Structures are given as structure tokens and as C-alpha cells.
Amino acid sequence: MRPVLALALVLLAAAPANLGTAQARGGYLAGQPPIDAVRLLPPPPAPGSSQDAFDRATAAAARAGVDGPAWKAAIREANIPDANFMQGLSCAVGVQVSAEKTPTIQKLFMSVTSDFVGPMEQAKSAWKRPRPFSVDGGPACDPRVAAGQGEKLGYAYPSGHAGIGWLLALVLSDAAPARADAIRAWGAEVGQHRVDCRVHWASDVAAGRMLGLAVYTRVSASPAYQADIKAAAAEIAKAAPISCPAG
């Protein structure tokens, strides 16, 4: 199962019963024409192009950084939405984010993730781009690769992690504008970690963010989204601040 598709299912399973089944399962764009990711995104870089050369150079640099600080940070956030991923997000927001403590934010996450996954899968299936570790035979930080199950990660383009990270950052910036800089830095880091992990090329990450922005642009016009953002902002304002280690 694709990691980001698994995320959608995990979030749905964790959803409190009062969040509204139809919206949680269909997202804010349910019943609307879907985003056509293949038309929206440029194709992956052509072999021999300058972008392809950049992708290969960054993959080689990441290989040289195996077991370094960036590699270890990427391992900690390899799985959405495990405890390490959620803690990084919580530190960016400044309050503990969880289904129990911030149910409206959980509802937002479920809905926007549902809106993102379909277009992402469409694009991955259309382009079938292999991942860096499968091209050069080098290591990758995702535990499924070490276990010989790298094929379970699916195709590379666009990056689901990068897109979800950036989409959530845009959403949370609406709910906590005073923390927008920290939140967006976190969202950008989620994508960069996928390059550091050697499971994505740099252009995969850029395309994921582009798709995340497109989903955000559509959902942010929804009255249901706007109502949920107001509720999420109130939720954050009432929550106790948390302290996180620097760096």
C-alpha cells in the first residue's frame, strides 16, 4: 500500500465519530471535478536535461550523507503520521496536535489528505518514475527499503510526503497565522527529508509541493473549510503551549 494512501486510511480510522463521515471520507472537494494532476504538473525531467542532472547530483550528495544528521532526521519523519512526524508538526504549531486534543485539526487533515491522494496516485501511475535508490542501487533511509520491500513505496513522481507536508503547512498557517513561518519551514523540511532519505528526487519534491498548493487553493475556497479553520484556530488558542528542543 502506498504510504500516503495508508496515511489517509490511518487518519480515517482515528477519526472521532462526530466528525462527519461523508466529509471525512470525501474531503472538501467531494462532488466536484477532481484535480487533473497529469495536466497540472510538468512531466518528470527528461534524461540528460539540466533538471535531470540536478536530480542526480542531489541524490549523489544524499548518498554521501548517509548516517549524517540530515539522514537521521529523515529517518525520524519517514512515516506519516507516526509520533515523530506529529511531534515535529506540533512543535511548529506550538501546541500538541492529536486526534484527542485537537479534533478539528484532525478533521482538516482527513479532508485535505483525501482531496490530495487521488490526484497524487493518478500522477504516479501515469509517469511511473523510479526512485533514486532503485536507479543507483544505493541505500535509502525508509525501513521498507532495508527490509527488501522498497517496491511497496510505489513510484516517485510526485512526492506524496512533500505534497502532504506542504499542504498541511498551508492549512495550519491559516489556523495559526502567528506561527506561519515556523509551520511553513516544517512543511518544506518534510519534503527535503525525502531527498535526504534517498527515496525521492528533488523534482519529485517540487512537484509534490505544486500539487499540495493546487489542492490548498481549491479547498480554501470551500465554506466548510473556512468554518473548520475558524474552529481550528479557536482550538489552538485554547491549547496549552508546548516547549520543544531547539534545532
CATH code of 199's domain: 1.20.144.10
Whether 194 is catalytic is yes
Question: Does residue 244 lie in a domain region?
Answer: no
Could you say which of 129, 131, 193, 194 is catalytic? 194
Question: Does residue 27 lie in a domain region?
Answer: no
Question: Does residue 23 lie in a domain region?
Answer: no
Question: Does residue 213 lie in a domain region?
Answer: yes
pTM for this structure?
Answer: 0.89
Domain count, the chain: 1
Sign of CA dihedral 211, 212, 215, 218: negative
Whether 181 is catalytic is no
Residue 151's pLDDT is 67
Could you say which of 129, 193, 200, 218 is catalytic? 200
Question: Does residue 119 lie in a domain region?
Answer: yes
Cα separation values, 50 from 42, 44, 137, 156, 200, Å: 15, 12, 22, 19, 17
Q: Which residue has the higher pLDDT, 137 or 142?
A: 137
**How far apart (Å, rounded) are the C-alpha atoms in residues 220 and 184?**
17
Residue 88's pLDDT is 92
Could you say which of 161, 193, 209, 218 is catalytic? 161
Whether 193 is catalytic is no
Could you say which of 115, 142, 174, 204 is catalytic? 204
- Grid cell locating 197: 532519505
pLDDT digits (tens, 9 = 90+) for 198-217: 999 999 999 999 999 999 99
Question: Does residue 37 lie in a domain region?
Answer: no
Domain span at 204: 3-14+47-238
